[in-house]
Amino acid sequence: MQVYLVGGAVRDELLGLKVKDRDWVVVGATPEAMLDAGYRPVGSDFPVFLHPETHEEYALARTERKSGRGYKGFTFHTDPSVTLEEDLLRRDLTINALAKSDAGVITDPFNGQQDLNNRVLRHVSNAFLEDPLRVLRVARFQARFAHLGFTVAPETLELMQGMSASGELDHLTAERVWQEFERALNTNTPSQFLATLEKSHACYLLTPLDRVKTDSTVSVDSTLLEATEERFALLCFLADMSPEAIETLALRLKIPNRFKTLAIAYSKHAASLLNYPTTEPEQKLTLISDLKLIKQPDAVVPLIHIHSALQPDDPFDKAYLERDVQAVAAIKPKQVMADGFSGAELGSELRRRQIEALATLYS
């Protein structure tokens, strides 16, 4: 039994990046031998085991064969005779087809280290064509490593374009498309995910986000927004998506509500935040009411973050908004009721007085 550190952990170590997760491949072992050594089995597609102490994943070396459409259409073969090189052959990119032994010796049968040095994302073999998910994975790696100077190899991009044209990407589930996109949102340059899909003729998977101008998002993606939801909302805004379009995209990709809600909120209120002191009182009241800022004053913070990313030289002065919220909160429904208003008239009069209070502050 031989154990090797594989994939992203080796790649990131060679790039001088922090290694977050470590995956291992075991060559020359059987499931029974792993169980006897105290490993706990997980997964149903092929034998993967958790280390009894570190709980890291150890997978038996395997080969795979295409047996159907889509990214799940594979059969896997594990056997003690499967070599390390055969296991690495099934991986997507050369920079991910690296293994390191306990002694620190790196196995690199597909020149992954050379591609790391040259900053190239290159497929390992034509087996790349068999898994449509790899188009999204390459786009995500480009989003993660673009700031280091990485580009997609022309021959790999050509394969990706062919996969898009073949209709193979249509077999990807909405959940998997969103999963890759969400992971890309956590990279240094999420816009490069969209740009790479566009070059691959696969941007239709995220229509209408394909309208984003990638050159306008690179600087703000990586430096000023930390929350994934904020990055998603920013891209929706840059794609000029209406609340209805965001709702449709969220339904199609089964996007979690927290992403959809923030994106819709910024789409509706971006104009009010842009020149807040001079915004009309009616728009200010709509912002305060929609976000329920009287009871949830921090609800506006993510929107301010997005505004700051778009307007780094024009920071939002929250003091104006806080003063307006206090003015609106001071108009009590009980006061309006005491003046004889009720029913629909109560709501109309309350809103009129709140707008008047806001206008008075700036008169």
> Range with the lowest mean pLDDT among 109-118, 154-163, 180-189, 307-316?
307-316
- Give the mean pLDDT of 86-114: 96
Per residue in 126-177, pLDDT tens?
999 989 999 999 999 999 999 999 999 999 999 999 999 999 999 999 999 9
Query: Is residue 39 domain-resident?
Result: yes
Query: Is residue 225 domain-resident?
Result: no
Tell me which range, 78-82, 301-305, 309-313, is most confidently predicted by mean pLDDT. Answer: 301-305
**Final residue belonging to a domain, choices 125, 154, 175:** 125
pLDDT exceeds cutoff 80 at 363: no
Domain of residue 326, residue span = 273-296+315-361
Query: Is residue 231 domain-resident?
Result: no
pLDDT top residue among 45 and 122: 122
**Final residue belonging to a domain, choices 71, 91, 125:** 125
Structural domain tally of the chain? 2
- Distance CA(180)–CA(295), nearest Å, equals 35
The pLDDT of residue 45 is: 64
- Distance CA(120)–CA(264), nearest Å, equals 37
**CATH code of 31's domain:** 3.30.460.10
Per residue in 219-273, pLDDT tens?
444 457 879 999 999 999 988 999 999 999 999 999 999 999 999 999 999 999 9
Per-residue pLDDT band at 356 (split at 50, 70, 90): very high
Tokens 């295409």 appear where? 66
Per residue in 42-93, pLDDT tens?
876 668 999 999 999 999 998 876 545 545 545 667 888 999 999 999 999 9
- Give the mean pLDDT of 288-301: 96
- In whole numbers, what is the pLDDT of the chain averaged over residues? 91
pLDDT exceeds cutoff 60 at 338: yes
- Say which residues have a Cβ less than 8 Å from residue 88's Cβ, sequence separation at least 6: 6, 97, 98, 99, 107, 109, 110, 124
**Final residue belonging to a domain, choices 108, 125, 142:** 125
Contact 238, 217 (CB under 8 A): yes
Contact 143, 188 (CB under 8 A): yes
